[in-house]
Amino acid sequence: MKANAMTEDAIVSLKEIKKSYDGVRTLDGIDLELRPGEALGLIGHNGAGKTTLMKIILGLIEPSAGKAKVFGMNPSGGLHGAVAQRWGFLPEAVNFSGAMSGLEALRFYARLKGSDVRKCPEQLASVGLTDAAHKRLKAYSKGMRQRLGLAQALLGKPELLLLDEPTTGLDPDFTRTFYRLIDERRQAGAAVILSSHALAELEPHVDRLLVLQQGKCIAQGDLSALRVQTGLPVRIRVSGDDGAVREKLADLADVQSNRINGRTVEFICPPEQKMALIELVCRTRGVEDLQIELPNLDRIYSHYSKQGNTGKAEGGTEQ
């Protein structure tokens, strides 16, 4: 697809975005295009610039340099009017007036966005707050406030969702419900930006990743591409006659093996050796089980964090 066509189709388009506060640069040359139905994982250390980037997309702050377009327009000054129904935002710190009830608060936000207030009880039900609809917010737990924050972000079935540490305070059961609701919006064509330190839970729900470090993009792409780019080793555990397996694989020079116990051997190999290793294992007598562990998001993020700090590639050194 041509670049121009991508820009026209994109819900979010950022070009060379920079932002400085009092001479300190918090974002440095960020490029991003996000299209309908895509989910982007925005990850990085505290202070990396993730929230600043979200605020620029929402038009809450202006970039110091670069161009931003959201729904084809400059978001500067905030996405108001008819556009307000097209986006939803869940900030990291959710704050509501404690004197209001959950239903009153949600109706307030529905009016601000021009959404149908009659659907607010249904929206509360979707996040499990029906029984707390008339309870004052000062009596809500942190998890309940987070659920209400999600309910307001989903008002009007938005086409763009920005979610900053959205599962903070949520129990495991509702965390699964949260991602189900977000996946449903994606399937309906919404673009989603998710910022989270909970990388293991984030990994299955994003298409692409943008890794920020000190305001700079140090990696961007889908998980498969980043695995190839890092060159991180693959771990393969084989159970059965470990002696026969180790002898059979002795001719693969780059494969390291560690005996886990009397029945299991773990092989650590470069990505390019993975298929050859699996093929040999499958032809080896005595093999009873095979487990393959590809580099997960935690390992990939750790790799890029170290690379960003040292300026050296470390993909082939992890064991």
The CATH number of whichever domain residue 44 belongs to comes to 3.40.50.300
Q: What is the CATH number of the domain that holds 287?
A: 3.30.2130.10
State yes or no: pLDDT of 11 exceeds 90: yes
Alpha-carbon distance values, 142 to 89, 131, 168, 181, 258 (Å): 18, 16, 8, 19, 45
Query: Distance between CA 29 and CA 20 in Å, rounded?
Result: 11
**3-class SS at 199?**
helix
User: Residue 242: what pLDDT?
Assistant: 62
Domain boundary among 221, 255, 282: 221
The torsion angle over the Cα atoms of residues 21, 25, 29 and 31, rounded to 10 degrees, is: -60
Domain that holds residue 108: 3-221
* Structural domain includes residue 259: yes
93/14 same-domain check:
yes
* Structural domain includes residue 266: yes
Mean pLDDT of the chain: 87
217/252 same-domain check:
no
125/243 same-domain check:
no
Query: Distance between CA 164 and CA 193 in Å, rounded?
Result: 8
User: Residue 243: what pLDDT?
Assistant: 66
State yes or no: pLDDT of 313 exceeds 80: no
* Structural domain includes residue 226: no
Q: Apex CA 211: angle with CA 304 and CA 319, to 5°?
A: 25
- Number of structural domains the chain divides into: 2
pTM: 0.84
Q: Average pLDDT for residues 134-139, to the nearest whole number? A: 94
Q: Average pLDDT for residues 69-83, to the nearest whole number? A: 82
Using one digit for the tens of pLDDT, what is the confidence trace for 174-201? 999 999 999 999 999 999 999 999 999 9
91/188 same-domain check:
yes
Contact 278, 235 (CB under 8 A): no
User: Residue 316: what pLDDT?
Assistant: 40
Using one digit for the tens of pLDDT, what is the confidence trace for 142-169? 999 999 999 999 998 899 999 999 998 8
User: Residue 6: what pLDDT?
Assistant: 42
